[in-house]
């Protein structure tokens, strides 16, 4: 065999090694090029479902267990149900507790400490309240000294999930 | 003469190892998605779900076979430098790694360029999306925001040590090929 023939044989072998597996792919999918390139429908559907579950926070995610607020401040315990199939770290939850009737800011609140919640599990969030300077005056004049019902305004929940930092604005009524 | 043979031997032996040393390049989007690729295989994992494509599986299998053959022939050609087939064998295998390195870099550059154009347009009218994919390697943050939610996810791209080994093997192969041109044939 001459060097030239060897060169030709090697070229043909190289072409066969690339084309052979491609022909196998064609025959497996009976010439359906789209099916050859795109992942299966089942795979795409499974990921689509997981993406939907990722941030599926409904109104039932948070439920108040206890709540106390007066002129000296206060605290609340809220049960937080992690609806996602991944663990989450609740890094902070801040906002204003405002008078439900007048919308007057009575206290600023924040999460006492970070809370890690496993997938599908419940976590207890301890929230601390710090009265605003005019809170007592508003309660005295507007509510005859009785602390009124409040709701959350400008709430911001900071969550870490799958190394993603997520900020959710919460304006929940009837806290 | 001694140097020439050794370079081909080393490059050939390393070529036989390279397909089994794992990915050459990897990218991660937080823990949401991970991509690992080499010219011989790929792993695309989104939320724990792996994706595969028959076309790419077969194409990369062909690349792997061709590469292993190239490595074996480079090794043989370097072991028997005075045989009449030695030069052809060395030439067949010597530049394969270099072409794969160049191809991978080109594919990554084109992909980054396309994604940087396409992805931001996907969010038009639905919210705000800040997407700046680094070219080849580096890190950035993908930001998605709508009226009530803001999400920031770290994006990291990097070459692995296998890629840099491939660059070295490519250089060795090139040197072996250049020297094979000066071989004396029986």
pLDDT at B159: 95
Which pLDDT band, with edges at 50, 70 and 90, does A172 fall under? low
Interface test with B, best of A17, A42, A119 (most B CBs within 10 A): A17
* Token code pair at residue B183: 């071989």
* More confident site: A35 or B156: B156
Q: Please check the confidence at residue B10 and state whether its pLDDT lies above 50.
A: yes
Chain A hits for B184, CB-CB cut-off 8 Å, are none
- Our CA-based measurement puts residue A168 at a distance from the nearest CA of chain B, in whole angstroms, of 5
* Token code pair at residue B102: 């160049």
Domain ranges of chain A: 3-54, 62-170
Tell me whether residue B133 is in a domain: no
Rounded Cα distance, A111 and A156, in Å: 11
The radius of gyration of chain A from alpha carbons, rounded to an integer in Å, stands at 30
Question: Mean pLDDT across the stretch A72-89?
Answer: 87
Tell me whether residue B140 is in a domain: no
Phi, psi of B86 (to 5 degrees): -55, -50
pLDDT at B178: 84
Which pLDDT band, with edges at 50, 70 and 90, does A174 fall under? very low
| CA angle in degrees (0–180, nearest 5) for A153-A156-A59 | 75
Residues 6+ apart with CB under 8 A from A22: B55, B58, B59, B62
Q: What is the pTM of this model?
A: 0.80
What would the pLDDT profile of A124-140 be if each residue is shown by its tens digit?
Answer: 989 999 999 888 888 88
Rounded Cα distance, B74 and B66, in Å: 12
Residue of B nearest to A52 (CA): B47
Question: B73 touching A, CB under 8 A?
Answer: yes
Q: Which among B46, B92, B151 has CB closest to A164?
A: B151
Rounded Cα distance, A92 and A80, in Å: 13
CATH number of A62-170: 2.60.40.10
Query: Number of Cβ pairs closer than 8 Å across A and B?
Result: 100
Residue of B nearest to A38 (CA): B53
Question: B62 touching A, CB under 8 A?
Answer: yes
pLDDT at B106: 95
For chain B, the average pLDDT equals 86
Say yes or no for a CB contact (<8 Å) between B59 and A38: no
Question: B131 touching A, CB under 8 A?
Answer: no
Identify the H or E element spanning B150. strand B149-159
Q: Which among A28, A37, A164 has CB closest to B32?
A: A164
Tell me whether residue B146 is in a domain: no
Tokens 């959710």 sit on residue = A168
Question: Mean pLDDT across the stretch B135-153?
Answer: 89
* More confident site: B134 or B127: B134
Question: B181 touching A, CB under 8 A?
Answer: no
Residues 6+ apart with CB under 8 A from A62: A78, A79, A80, A81, A125, A172
Residue of A nearest to B154 (CA): A164
Tell me whether residue B147 is in a domain: no
Domain with residue B85: its CATH number is 1.20.140
- Residue closest to A102 by CA, chosen among A127, A71, A135: A135
Q: Is A150 left (phi over 0), alpha (psi -120 to 50) or beta?
A: beta
- Our CA-based measurement puts residue B152 at a distance from the nearest CA of chain A, in whole angstroms, of 5
Chain B hits for A19, CB-CB cut-off 8 Å, are 62
Q: Please check the confidence at residue B182 and state whether its pLDDT lies above 70.
A: no
Question: Mean pLDDT across the stretch B37-64?
Answer: 88
Residue of B nearest to A84 (CA): B47
Rounded Cα distance, B126 and B22, in Å: 39
CA distances (Å), origin A13, targets A17, B70, B86, B113: 6, 11, 17, 35
pLDDT at A114: 92
pLDDT at B186: 43
Tell me whether residue B48 is in a domain: yes
Say yes or no for a CB contact (<8 Å) between A46 and B49: yes
Residues 6+ apart with CB under 8 A from A121: A81, A82
Residue of A nearest to B61 (CA): A21
Tell me whether residue B150 is in a domain: no
Say yes or no for a CB contact (<8 Å) between A22 and B55: yes
Tell me whether residue B37 is in a domain: yes
Say yes or no for a CB contact (<8 Å) between A39 and B46: no
Q: Please check the confidence at residue A146 and state whether its pLDDT lies above 90.
A: no
Domain count, chain B: 1
Rounded Cα distance, A165 and B142, in Å: 10
Range with the poorest average pLDDT among A118-122, A160-164, B50-54, B124-128: B124-128
Q: Please check the confidence at residue B139 and state whether its pLDDT lies above 50.
A: yes
What would the pLDDT profile of B60-77 be if each residue is shown by its tens digit?
Answer: 998 998 899 999 998 888
Candidate ranges A93-97, A138-142, B89-93; pick with highest mean pLDDT = A93-97
* More confident site: B74 or A56: B74
Say yes or no for a CB contact (<8 Å) between B46 and A47: yes
Tokens 């028997």 sit on residue = B80
Tell me whether residue B157 is in a domain: no
Q: Please check the confidence at residue B183 and state whether its pLDDT lies above 60.
A: no
Pair B77, B88: CB distance under 8 Å = yes
pLDDT at B158: 95
* More confident site: B26 or A139: B26
Give the domain range for residue B34: 2-113+162-180
* Token code pair at residue A147: 């602390």
Which pLDDT band, with edges at 50, 70 and 90, does A109 fall under? very high
């Amino acid at each position: 065999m001459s060097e030239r023939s060897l060169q030709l044989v090697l070229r043909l072998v190289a072409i066969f090694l690339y084309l052979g597996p491609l022909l196998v792919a064609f025959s497996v999918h009976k010439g359906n090029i789209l099916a050859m390139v795109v992942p299966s429908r089942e795979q795409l559907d499974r990921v689509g479902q997981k993406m939907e579950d990722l941030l599926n926070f409904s109104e039932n995610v948070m439920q108040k267990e206890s709540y106390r607020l007066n002129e000296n401040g206060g605290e609340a315990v809220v049960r937080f149900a992690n609806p996602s199939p991944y663990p989450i770290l609740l890094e902070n939850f801040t906002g204003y507790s405002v008078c439900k009737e007048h919308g007057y800011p009575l206290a600023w609140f924040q999460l006492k400490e970070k809370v890690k919640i496993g997938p599908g599990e419940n976590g207890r969030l301890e929230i601390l309240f710090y009265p605003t300077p005019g809170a007592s005056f508003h309660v005295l004049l507007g509510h005859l000294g009785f602390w009124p019902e409040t709701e959350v305004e400008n709430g911001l929940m900071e969550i870490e999930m799958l190394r993603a930092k997520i900020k959710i604005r919460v304006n929940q009524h009837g806290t | 003469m001694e140097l020439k043979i050794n370079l081909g031997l080393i490059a050939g032996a390393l070529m036989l190892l390279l397909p089994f040393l794992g990915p050459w390049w990897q990218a991660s989007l937080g823990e949401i998605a991970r991509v690992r690729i080499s010219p011989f295989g790929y792993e695309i994992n989104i939320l724990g779900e792996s994706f595969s494509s028959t076309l790419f599986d077969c194409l990369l299998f062909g690349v792997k076979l061709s590469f292993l053959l190239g490595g074996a022939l480079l090794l043989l050609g370097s072991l028997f430098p005075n045989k009449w087939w030695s030069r052809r064998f060395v030439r067949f295998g010597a530049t394969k790694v270099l072409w794969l390195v160049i191809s991978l870099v080109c594919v990554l550059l084109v992909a980054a360029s396309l994604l940087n154009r396409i992805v931001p347009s996907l969010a038009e009218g639905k919210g705000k999306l800040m997407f700046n994919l680094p070219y080849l390697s580096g890190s950035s943050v993908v930001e998605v925001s709508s009226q009530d939610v803001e999400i920031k996810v770290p994006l990291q791209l990097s070459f692995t040590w296998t890629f840099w080994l491939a660059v070295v093997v490519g250089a060795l192969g090139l040197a072996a090929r250049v020297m094979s041109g000066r071989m004396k044939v029986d």
